[in-house]
Amino acid sequence: MKIIATSDAPAAIGPYVQGKIVNGLLYASGQIPLNPLNGEIVGDSIETQTEQVMKNISAILKEAHSDFNLVIKTTCFLKNIEDFSRFNAIYSKFFDKEFPARSAVGVAGLPKNVLIEIEVIAEVKS
């Protein structure tokens, strides 16, 4: 097992790590739209926040020697499920070849009152 940590993604705001690699798979903790440099929330729209979350995920994938084409499954938490189509428009731009399996759910609240959180499971390049 290997712990993934990069300064290019936000530091954990609780008792967890950015990700762990186990048996060739990355299990990344949920990412919210925090600026990794100052820990501040980026944007106030679902589009801006989704973009930042995906950038944070990209940094974790890179650190783990993976990328969006190797993502197997995502779990997406939206504060307002009515943002679903606007979220999809940004999310879909990050996948070149094919989309991963995905769950997307509306939730009552998220850390720091953000609009979106996404976690991923991805294959790691050998």
- CB burial class (10 A; 0-12, 13-18, 19+) of residue 123? middle
Query: Cβ of 85: how many Cβ atoms within 10 Å?
Result: 8
> What number is the average pLDDT over the span 2-11?
97
Residue 97 has pLDDT above 90, yes or no: no
CA distance linking residue 35 with residue 100, whole number of Å? 25
Query: Total domain count for the chain?
Result: 1
Tell me the residue range of the domain where 62 lies.
2-123
Helix (H, G, I), strand (E, B) or coil at 95: coil
CB 28 within 8 Å of CB 63 = no
* pLDDT for the residue numbered 13: 86
pTM of the entire predicted model: 0.96
**CATH number (domain holding residue 51):** 3.30.1330.40
| DSSP category for residue 94 | G
Mean pLDDT of the chain: 97
Residue 51 has pLDDT above 80, yes or no: yes
